Amino acid sequence: MKEAVTVENLSVSFSDIRVLRQITCKVEEGEIFGLLGPSGAGKTTLAKVLTGQLVQNGGVAKLFGKDTRKLGTKEREQIGIMMDCFGLYDRLSVYDNLAFYADIYRVPKSRIWGILKSIGLEQAGKTAVQKLSKGMKSRLSLARALMRDAKILFLDEPTCGLDPVTAREIHAVLEEQRRKGTTVFLTTHNMYEAHKLCDHVALLHEGVIVEYGNPAKICGKYNRLQKLLVTLKDGKTVVLENGSSAALPMKEYLEAERVETVHSTEPTLEDVFVELTGKELGADA
Amino acid sequence: MHNLIAVFKKQCKDTFKNKTVFIQFILFPALTLLMNQTVKIEGMPKNFFVNLFATMYIGMAPLTCMAAVVAEEKENNTLRVLLLSNVKPHEFLGGVGSYIWLLCMLGAAVICAAGNYGLRTGLVFMAVTAVGILASLLIGAAIGTFSRTQMMATSIALPVMMFFSFLPMLSMFNETVAGIARFTYSEQIGKMLGQVPSLRLGMDSAGIVAVNMLVFAVLFAAAYQKCGLE
Ligand SMILES: Nc1ncnc2c1ncn2[C@@H]1O[C@H](COP(=O)(O)OP(=O)(O)OP(=O)(O)O)[C@@H](O)[C@H]1O
Ligand SMILES: [Mg+2]
């Protein structure tokens, strides 16, 4: 697999605060990569370095092999960006905002309605941006990133402030992008979303990456108990070893139709991150 | 050029929506038409109001609009997204500038019409106006680039605009003020507008305007160096 993003020993400081401390990570081409971490961890900062909006104090960051301090016209054409500050024209309509960028990106305006439909903004096409809710603005900003055929999308909290149904529509859009071969770099506070969508996640905490990997594998790694919790219909809970020794009792419970629920003691991504950061994530997610 | 036209078209769509800017464009042309029709004072020079309001229009509208639009785009991060999308600073400024320039020329055409000029004198009037608007755009761009927010741009643009627009008028009453006003482009543009009927424009006036524009260009470059467009 080729690397879309390569980060080596990257450090960023603001005056005397060290926000990123020599972090190293990578994003493979065609995957959805999730950058997780508590508020203020430096997620947006890393996204800014990778998109050439901020220059690091040390280390290297590369986008498709090109140093992000030297991104040129050609590289920028391959990047779709959705920032936390949306950068939309308040007085223009949703459609006009995208029409303007269709001009700038030199793509046909005919794709605008299709994109609006896919993110559920079709109804608001003629509405002025200043009349949109925050979640709608964030979707419009995502729509703009989708307008050009980018090779990589940088999405800063694409589902922040959205209801679960709309969030799922966005997930479908991102999965569609992955099918098309687009690399997606996203930041999120939503652990469920990260688990469901991402091929790899990195957890940023106090300026360092404390965990990196496939979400399911990370959860497996922290499953120290290796037990099964069986709740029976009479309310009793039985703890079984997660192994062959559990086969017989399980079979008996099932044959007697006594099983209410079965759970593994595997932690969720959220459990892992609370354990690693000592902080509840995403109070605002 | 492609991006410049795109920015220009985007500004056009914003014309009737951006009321604070739009009012700048129509205020003085409307005022000229009104005053020219209604107020007749004994011994008043011909086209007194036309020249006065044209000078004020040139000093005010392009300057405040340019500063406001640039600063607003900075404040709302729309400019940052544009620059990330490969729009070059000169394409953005060119698109916004040419839009404001054209709109102001339309307003100036109305003022010109009120002056009842012939074809040749009318064209000279418009040519002088065109240069004046360009000079104002340069200061406006410098202020907009220097400001982080629209509020900041307005508070800087206001005194600057007052200085350039009112000085020519005040110089009629005070020697000292006239001494300073001599060196401003607005005073000289006003003077040249007064010379339009004779078709003889003072070369010294043109020289002072050129020097003014040079200074504004340097100021803009300094603001751009210091603050950039992000
Ligand atoms: N321009 C700046 N000047 C000074 N400090 C900054 C600047 N930008 C960010 N910081 C600081 O860097 C740290 C990381 O900020 P960043 O925006 O990257 O966090 P984040 O992980 O994106 O947080 P959130 O989840 O809340 O969006 C914060 O402590 C913030 O105060
Ligand atoms: Mg952030």
Shortest CA distance to B129 belongs to which of B212, B182, B194, B48?
A: B194
Which pLDDT band holds residue B155 (cuts at 50, 70, 90)?
Answer: very high
Distance of CA B100 to CAs A4, B61, B72, Å? 42, 9, 15
Distance from CA of B224 to the nearest CA of A (A): 17
Compute the radius of gyration of chain B from its Cα atoms.
Answer: 18
Q: What are phi and psi of B115, to 5 degrees?
A: -80, -5
pLDDT tens per residue, range B8-42: 999 999 998 988 889 988 888 898 888 877 877 77
CB B104 within 8 A of CB B25: yes
Q: How many CB pairs under 8 A join A and B?
A: 61
B78 touches chain A (CB under 8 A): yes
Strands of the sheet with A3-14, listed across from one edge: A17-28, A3-14, A58-63, A66-67
pLDDT tens per residue, range A127-162: 999 999 988 999 999 999 999 989 999 999 999 888
Could you tell me which residues are beta bridge partners of residue A186? A34, A155
Closest protein CA for atom 22 of ligand 1: A44
For residue A102 the two structure tokens come to 């269709």
SS3 B132: helix
Three-state SS letters, B24-36: HHHHHHHHHHHHH
CB B142 within 8 A of CB B212: no
Contact A101 B87 (CB under 8 A): no
Strands of the sheet with A208-213, listed across from one edge: A79-82, A152-156, A183-188, A32-36, A200-205, A208-213
What is the extent of the structural domain holding B183?
A: 2-227
CB A194 within 8 A of CB A188: yes
pLDDT score for A280 = 54
Distance of CA B88 to CAs A160, A219, B1, B85, B92, Å? 31, 46, 10, 9, 6
Q: Exposed/middle/buried for B21, CB within 10 Å: 0-12, 13-18, 19+?
A: buried
User: What percent of chain A lies above the pLDDT cut of 90?
Assistant: 57
How far, in Å, from the CA of A281 to the mean position of ligand 1? 16
pLDDT score for A283 = 47
Supply the pTM of this predicted model. Answer: 0.87
CB A27 within 8 A of CB A183: yes
Residues 6 or more apart whose CB falls under 8 angstroms from that of A133 comprise none
How far, in Å, from the CA of B200 to the mean position of ligand 2? 62
Residues 6 or more apart whose CB falls under 8 angstroms from that of B181 comprise B167, B168, B170, B171, B187
Contact A89 B10 (CB under 8 A): yes
Q: Give the number of other Cβ atoms within 10 Å of residue A109's Cβ.
A: 14
Give the residue with greater pLDDT, A1 vs A268.
A268
pLDDT tens per residue, range B179-194: 888 898 988 888 888 8
When the pLDDT of each residue in chain A is averaged and rounded to a whole number, the result is 89
- The answer, yes or no, to whether residue A284 has pLDDT greater than 50, is no
Q: What are phi and psi of A231, to 5 degrees?
A: -95, 130
pLDDT tens per residue, range B37-55: 787 777 777 777 888 889 8
B225 touches chain A (CB under 8 A): no
What average pLDDT does the segment B195-216 reach? 85
Which pLDDT band holds residue A285 (cuts at 50, 70, 90)?
Answer: very low
User: What percent of chain B lies above the pLDDT cut of 70?
Assistant: 100
ipTM of the complex: 0.88
Closest protein CA for atom 28 of ligand 1: A40
CA B31, distance to chain mean position in Å, is: 17
Shortest CA distance to A85 belongs to which of A47, A35, A57, A112?
A: A47
Distance CA B97, CA A124 (A): 31
What is the total count of domains within chain B? 1
For residue B194 the two structure tokens come to 């007064």
Helix, strand, coil % in chain B, rounded to nearest 5: 80, 0, 20
B76 touches chain A (CB under 8 A): yes
Helices within A71-152 (DSSP H only): 73-76, 94-105, 111-118, 134-147
pLDDT tens per residue, range B72-125: 999 999 999 999 999 999 999 999 999 999 999 999 999 888 888 888 889 989
Distance from CA of B226 to the nearest CA of A (A): 17
Go through A223-236 and write b for each residue having 16 or more CB atoms within 10 A of its CB, e for each that does not: beeebbebeeeeee
- The answer, yes or no, to whether residue A217 has pLDDT greater than 50, is yes
Compute the radius of gyration of chain A from its Cα atoms.
Answer: 22
Residues 6 or more apart whose CB falls under 8 angstroms from that of B142 comprise B216, B219, B220, B222, B223
Which pLDDT band holds residue A279 (cuts at 50, 70, 90)?
Answer: low
